Structure 1
Amino acid sequence: MPKPSQGEPPLFNGALDCFQQTIKREGFFALYKGMAVPAIISTPRFAIFFGGCAVARWLQQKKPDQELSFIQTFNTGALAGIFTTIVTIPGERIKCILQIQSMASDSATATVKYNGPKDLFAKLYKEGGIRSIYRGAPATLIRDIPACGTYLSVYELLKKKFAGENEERRTLSPFATLAAGGFAGIARWSICIPADVIKSRLQTAPEGKYPGGMRDVIREILQHEGPPGFFRGFGPVLLRAFPANAASFLGLELTLSLFRQVQI
C-alpha cells in the first residue's frame, strides 16, 4: 500500500481491514484482480516444476529406484524452482501491477492505466523490452530456490511420517496428502516471504525508482518500516498457503495414481 503522508493513518490497518475496504470501495470481485494471469500460467508452472523435479531426481540417482535423502530432495526442488521462473517472473509482474494499479489513498476513484494482462504486457514490452517483462528476476530466484527446495523436501518428509510403517506410500490417504501438502506450503512461505516482499516492490515500482535494484528496496524498507516491513502480508500468505498447496499435491498424487492404473 502507498506510504501515508506525515500525520496521516495508513491506508489499511491490517489484512481484515484491507479485505473490508476493498469490497466496500471496489466490490467483491476486486478481491480477484489479476486472477487471469495465475490461471493461465498455473498449468505450465506446475508442469515445469514437477518435470524439473523428475530431471533433478534422475541427475542424483545412481539407480532408478534409489530413494533420495532429505538434502537431495531439497536440491531437487531447488533446481526445479529455477526452471519455473521462466513463466513465474513475467506472470507475477503482470499480476502484481494489475492488483495494485487502482489503489489510491485519497480517493475511491480507480485510476486504471492498463486494460488487462494483454494490454499491460504490450505496454511493458514497449517501455523496456524483455528486460521490463522480467524485472525482479534475481529477487525471484533468491525467493524460489530455497522456497521450492523446502517445499518438496518437507512434503516428502511428511509423506513418510504420515505413511508410518506402510512402505507402500501410494496408499497414503487423501487427507494425509492434503495435510502434507498444506504444511509443506506453510514451510515454503515461512522462509521466503521477505524475498517475496522485495520482489513484489521491485516489480510494481515506477520505472527508475530503484536504480540499485534489491539493495535500494532493502534500504528503503529498513529506513521506513524496520525489519517487520519484510514480513508484510505474512498472515494472508499463510492463510492461502495451506489450502492452495494441499490442493496442488492432492491433484499431483491423484494424477500419478491414475497414470499407474493405466500402466497396469
Structure 2
Amino acid sequence: MTSGQVNQSSAVPQQFKLLPKIINGGIAGIIGVSVVFPLDLVKTRLQNQVIGPKGEKMYSSMFDCFKKTYKAEGYFGMYKGSGVNILLITPEKAIKLTANDMFRHYLSTGPGEPLPLVREMLAGGSAGACQIIITTPMELLKIQMQDAGRVAAAAKSEGKTLPKISAWSLATDLFKKRGILGLYQGTGATALRDVTFSVIYFPLFARLNNLGPKREDGSSVFWCSFLAGCVAGSSAALFVNPFDVIKTRLQAINKAPGEPTYNGVLDCIGKTLKNEGPTAFFKGGACRMIVIAPLFGIAQTVYYLGVAEYLMGLK
C-alpha cells in the first residue's frame, strides 16, 4: 500500500503497522538518492553560483556543470556528500513517508471514505514539518560537500588554495563553535521548502495514483505509483524552487571569493533580487525537477512494493 492510500481502504486503526512503513521509507530513500545524487550535486552548484558584474559565471548550463565537474573531479566527484546523505536519508524518508501515512490514517473521516483535500494537505504539511529535525543537518552538510569543488575552483582562479573538507570535520567544527544549533543553520528556510513541498506533493500524488488501474486487493499497480510520484514530485519541486534556492544559499558556509553572505531568509531574498533579479530564484529549477521526479517515483514504488512486509512475513 502506497503513501496516500491508507484512508481509501477499509483499514481500521489496529491495522496501521508503523515499523514496516519506517523500514520501507528508509529503503526507498537509499535507492532513490543513490540514483539521482549527481543531478542533485549539479543543482546545488547552479543555485549557489552568482553571476559576476560582467555576466561571467562558472557554469553556463546543467550540462556544462556536469562536464566541468566530471573533468575536474572525476566520477566520484559527482558523489561528494553522498555518504552523509545516504546515512541520513534513511530516517528522513522514513519519517516523511510514514508520518504522512500516519496523519492520513488518524485524520480519516471513516473507513472507506476518501480524505478531504484540506485534511490531505494538513497531513502532508505535518509530515514535512516532522522531517526537518533530520533534513536540516543533512542538507547543511551535504551542501558543503557538494559545493566544495565549485568554491575551490573559484578560489584557485584567484591564486588561493582551500583545505579539503569532510562531513565529519564540518560537523565537529560547527558543534564546537555553536553547539547543536550549529547544525541547524537555515532551519526556517528548510521548513519553508519542505512543509510547502509536502502540502502540494502528497495530495497530488494520492489523487494521481487513484486515477490508475487497481489490483484485486484495491492497491495500485507499481508503475502507476511510479508515474504518480514522478509527476507530483516534479510539479511540487518547481513550485518550491525559490525556497530551495534561499535554503541552499543560507546553508552554504564556505563562499567563493566575492560572493555575498546573508543574514536570514528576508536578507537573502532582498540581496538576490537586487543583485540577480527574480529569475535567480529558479536557478537549478529544471535540474531539481529532474532530481525529484525519479527520487519520489522510485521512493513511492519501493514503498509500495512493501519489501519490509515481505521480509517480516506480513504479506
TM-score (norm: length of structure 2): 0.75
The match for 1:155 is 205
The match for 2:9 is none
Distance 2:254 2:308 in 1: 47
Task: For residues 19-58 of structure 1, give each alpha carbon's deviation from its aligned partner in whole angstroms, at most 9, with x where no partner exists.
Answer: 1111111212211111011101111111111221233124
The match for 1:237 is 288
Deviation for aligned residue 1:163: 2.7
Aligned-partner SS, 1:10: coil
Match among 38, 41, 53 for residue 6 of structure 1: 53
Deviation for aligned residue 1:63: 3.4
The match for 2:95 is 48
The more displaced of 233-242 and 45-54 is 45-54
Deviation for aligned residue 1:106: 5.5
CA-based RMSD of the aligned residues comes to: 2.6
Aligned length: 260
Contact preservation (8 Å) 1:159, 1:180: yes
Q: Once the two structures are aligned, what percentage of the paired residues are identical? A: 27
Distance 1:3 1:193 in 2: 16
Q: Does 1:195 align with 2:243?
A: yes
* Larger RCO (CA within 8 A; separation ≥ 6): 2
Within-5 A mapping of 1:1-264: 1-7=48-54, 9-103=56-150, 104-105=153-154, 107=156, 111-114=162-165, 116-163=166-213, 168-170=217-219, 172-205=220-253, 209-211=261-263, 213-255=264-306, 258=309, 262-263=313-314
Q: 1:4 to 1:195 in 2, by over 3 A?
A: closer
Letter in 1 for 2:114: E
Contact preservation (8 Å) 2:175, 2:182: yes
Q: 1:76 to 1:259 in 2, by over 3 A?
A: farther
Letter in 1 for 2:208: L
Contact preservation (8 Å) 2:155, 2:161: no
Gaps of 5+ in 1: none
Contact preservation (8 Å) 1:94, 1:117: yes
Gaps of 5+ in 2: 1-47
Distance 2:125 2:131 in 1: 10
Task: For residues 173-229 of structure 1, give each alpha carbon's deviation from its aligned partner in whole angstroms, at most 9, with x where no partner exists.
Answer: 222121111111112202111001000100114599323x11110011101111100
Contact preservation (8 Å) 2:234, 2:292: yes
Distance 2:59 2:223 in 1: 36
